Structure 1
């Protein structure tokens, strides 16, 4: 099996290599191709990847290239983990929204729109090139904003599934707290990418049949610990009887987050410093394990989620429980208050035909209202990313629940276009 990684020079990639090494029986890869335009960075990351696989005794051939067409040719699956504009663009996304009193974040709000505008065209171009040289390949998108990017890929007819590590991080965290096997813990996970709630937790048997709901026990015994992790009040979880994702703090505690960001600086500055240190570590010819520092970079359990998803798409394994995973997929009637072509993030059955969302229990108005609001924004954001134009950008910002006022949307539009001209040819 040939696996290609577009954005293979990312500091995330050693995490993926570690997963491929540990889970060799789940996903037997013969050739791993890392594609990245920055060769110096790619060579440092690629060397660590080779050493990690060698330490596990993994026989995969590792190929490094800046040629996407050659790298993807004949691939069975292609992972997208791009960051258009690098950490410098992320730092801008997290800075100028604060000037207008809005949260500075790279995947939601005004910063998330900026990222979508410059990312969607690049991803679609890469996907077209993949389709020419590997027409049967599955594209697994880890590139943020995952929901918008995945919808763009699906609308263009690509064989694509979106992937986020939020659900698997909760799964692993909850399993440790409850002392149960993580691969048997099923979450009632519902929403949009980076806008999700855990509404139930069940241990499933080999056939995927769920046991009793363990969420009440989890909240009763570990509510304070989880609240600290997601940086939201424990009473909020009790009142909703859910565990909101960390990203809900941007909605439920917006003003407090803005105040904190103005005083402590952006996450982008921290990540840039971590990346510089990681790249120095990767130059060490004796390093053959993923460094502990990588855990602070983000993307926890990304490798395990990616390996499980690709393995299921390739038809590997027969365990029914393992085929059910959280993915970003077409709605197709699962959430009746959204259009069928919206992309939602729910438990899905994964097989060689792709990802099929599983039915979910009705979503209450508190969650459904916010999901519908953000889904409408995502539709407008994708339109702006595909067609450009100041009015489309303004409309998308006006639609976002973290903006929602015309004068703020006007100011944010001006700032977005000024900051993003390098990557938005139509805005120059």
Structure 2
């Protein structure tokens, strides 16, 4: 029997990555139907992506039906897997997430700091509605969430949504593993990294090749600048020997926002003054991509898509679906419930960790207590995530202010308030929960 996959946000420029992933894995993951679902404002892009997907599948010769719809409930009926890649408010909202914090002297980034908090505020209510619909229309389906901030959104769904078959995915651990394999000149299948932490705040504690510990060799490669994990959307500043020797773990690209805050802010301000926000750059990349996507001769994913920052996207999402469907019991890095894997964090906290993937879902592999070197900051980040979820649900400005205060990229009790007020005003159209008078008073 074939597999039905629904892609929420099907008009995304990332979708060809997924289509390619399904084509590559057809023998082990026999997808028979793909429905691309989007909202009315995304109709034009959805049509372009659908036609490209049809050409890609036609070229493959595989019996996969692809269609598109704006009717989410219709799309979800009988689904086996649902993938989410939405951006509430579009790139316009992302530009605000980046521009307004910079104006106030804070880092502006779509999944970290004030921008990440507001992306969660916009996204969580929408995906909780999806959770209700899946619970009704496809109760056995797995929701593979790629929508950022992936860890926060996944925790909100698992704690507050009725549908519990939810796994969060991020391509950063895949980037780190693949880059490590390249620099060690080995096949990526031979490399494993023990990850510990949270989404966009995860560390690689140990690196193994065929079971042999190669951690110190990889750390040396980082020190000599032979290794860079950064995706297209993050310009690496490199790491000092002092930092790497003290932490003695592989940092991920997003750590520059927290451990190189002053230099990163300076770099981002210079980039903003020269080229505008990253969102504006992405808008130009997308214009180029969608022009290419409309070429009736194009029947494969274009190489230019990597400029969008989505490298290994399909590997992360499709490999996970494949492992669930086939009950592989292999190890993948996912965002899932802690369940004691990290002893310092609550059992119902969502962490980013290696897990054994089965048909029943992920079983996180125990990694023990957090390393003392980063324990305090990780626990602070988790508290900030919990406050962000609380504010997204309550619509309380007090809760939102607390989330700002707990965020390491803000935590300034006087400057946080005007930043929060301006962002609430700018994003009002996408934040109905904050608009009621009752919520404003709490």
Check whether TM > 0.5.
yes
Aligned to 2:294: 283
Matched residue of 1:79: which SS? strand
Q: Is the 8 A contact 2:11 2:45 kept in 1?
A: yes
Q: Residue 361 of structure 1: CA displacement?
A: 4.7
Residues 1:172 and 2:178 aligned together: yes
Matched residue of 1:314: which SS? helix
Q: For the residues of structure 2 that align with 1:228 and 1:180, how far apart are their CA atoms?
A: 16
Q: Deviations over 1:178-221 (max 9, x none)?
A: 122212311111110000111111134xxxxxx11112122334
Aligned to 1:127: 131
Q: For the residues of structure 2 that align with 1:271 and 1:280, how far apart are their CA atoms?
A: 14
Aligned to 1:162: 168
Q: Residue 225 of structure 1: CA displacement?
A: 2.5
Aligned to 1:89: 93
Q: Is the 8 A contact 2:405 2:416 kept in 1?
A: yes
Q: Residue 234 of structure 1: CA displacement?
A: 4.4
Matched residue of 1:294: which SS? helix
Aligned to 1:395: 402
Residues 1:308 and 2:319 aligned together: yes
Aligned to 2:375: 368
Q: For the residues of structure 2 that align with 1:255 and 1:328, how far apart are their CA atoms?
A: 29
Q: Deviations over 1:248-288 (max 9, x none)?
A: 00001111111122121121121111111111111100111
Q: Residue 222 of structure 1: CA displacement?
A: 5.5
Residues 1:191 and 2:197 aligned together: yes
Q: Is the 8 A contact 1:231 1:249 kept in 2?
A: yes
Q: For the residues of structure 2 that align with 1:252 and 1:177, how far apart are their CA atoms?
A: 24
Q: For the residues of structure 1 that align with 2:270 and 2:221, how far apart are their CA atoms?
A: 34
Q: For the residues of structure 1 that align with 2:222 and 2:432, how far apart are their CA atoms?
A: 50
The correspondence for 2:50, drawn from 42, 46, 54, is 46
Q: For 1:192-271, list aligned pairs within 5 A.
A: 192-204=198-210, 211-221=211-221, 223=223, 224-227=225-228, 229=230, 230-235=236-241, 236-265=243-272, 266-271=277-282
Q: Residue 228 of structure 1: CA displacement?
A: 8.0
The runs of 5 or more residues in structure 2 that have no matched partner are 231-235, 436-442
Q: For the residues of structure 2 that align with 1:289 and 1:35, how far apart are their CA atoms?
A: 21
Aligned to 1:412: 419
Q: For the residues of structure 2 that align with 1:361 and 1:232, how far apart are their CA atoms?
A: 29
Q: Residue 427 of structure 1: CA displacement?
A: 3.3
TM-score normalised per structure 1: 0.94
Report runs of 4+ in structure 1 exceeding 3 Å deviation: 227-230
